[in-house]
Structure 1
């Protein structure tokens, strides 16, 4: 019997990421929130909690966006429960994913130190 490559939590997380991406996009538009997008969803093994990682176009307004999304979490969960085939939709907690900000900072530091040269094609190769 072949082994399973993906755990159930991975499949649920992927489905939540797709669905929440649409819900968050609509919430940003409807509630005039700072522009954010869902970068990842991590689900606990017991499927009770889902940590939703979001990135923001304006990192200085990320805290405001995450707070608003956490307040809308109950509404998102209710909508998900109607559309997903899960016995129980996990409780949602939104957190800011600062990995993009960190990578941009590292790239800027390397560019300033002269270790990498800026290119015109936007790929950052020297």
Structure 2
């Protein structure tokens, strides 16, 4: 990935985070984290990966809310980014934090078992 694309991804991530923190008052989007943005090379489309810091139980509802507000987010990005075309936004759930926590638990369990193989 080129340096320019990395910078565009970072700018979109930062601005979307700012918009959600300061301008959105929807309780479903509180504690939402934008983990990554992957923009297509032609800047026509951007995948936005999100997770919730508290729960992942309502992920379908959260993604529907974000998808419904994608036009608003795109308009707000157009006001602050100096791009000829602001990409269409698509939101995806990022479960990497959950997978990482699960792997950490498994590693801890394996370490405990290797230190105390009899289970005492």
Taking structure 2 as the reference length, the TM-score comes to: 0.82
Q: Residue 108 and residue 76 in structure 1: after superposition, are their counterparts in 2 closer, same or farther (change >3 A)?
A: same
80 and 104 in structure 1: CA distance in 2 versus 1, 3 angstrom threshold: same
1:96 aligns with 2:93: yes
TM-score (normalised: structure 1):
0.78
The count of corresponding residues between Structure 1 and Structure 2 is: 112
1:28-39 alignment, distance < 5 Å: 30-34=25-29, 35-39=31-35
Which structure has more relative contact order (CA 8 Å, sep 6+)? It is: 2
Aligned to 1:55: 51
Which stretches in structure 2 are left out of the alignment for 5+ residues?
116-120
1:42 to 38, 46, 49: 38
Segment drifting more, 40-49 vs 9-18:
9-18
1:17 correspondence with 2:13: yes
Superposed CA RMSD in Å reads: 2.1
Does the CA contact (< 8 Å) of 1:24 and 1:37 recur in 2? no
Give the structure 1 partner of residue 3 of structure 2: 7
The runs of at least 4 aligned residues of structure 1 exceeding 4 Å deviation read none
